[in-house]
Structure 1
């Protein structure tokens, strides 16, 4: 027997699962958190607290490489975290459907 909360989750996930599976949607939803994560890395690199990294930064034009790397990290984090969350919800959904079928 499923609880009311589990039934509500099944109904919710049936309506939004196709939309949340799309990679573009996962990118748009996760990009703010990914950019925040990448921004912290960029701030840490440009703050100058680590003198050796600061010397390397000043001696060559590595800023473009760092910015590209931060963007790649942000996009990867955004997509990966949402795909992981999607897989968790999908697994929960399938388990609840199995439990519902077993009880019926």
Structure 2
């Protein structure tokens, strides 16, 4: 394990702040767990295996989303919302964003 849970939670808060902008609340990040060999089920890394952290994200109407972060790089791999839509996550000069969703 390269990162600690505390480091991953801090990274998740940074990512979620970029995603949600003015609607961000720090309380939306709700714990993390580590998985040594996590096979990606979708997105640009589909079929590849990584050591990952999965972070629970509190969403609308008591639902939970999941942010998967690589333990090797500390960067996000995918974001899965409670409707099971899975998005790749990328970063540009404005910050992190979910590929395929409009940005503010």
TM-score, normalised with respect to structure 1:
0.25
In proportion to residue count, which structure has more helix? 1
| Bigger share in strand | 2
Normalised by the size of structure 2, how large is the TM-score?
A: 0.25
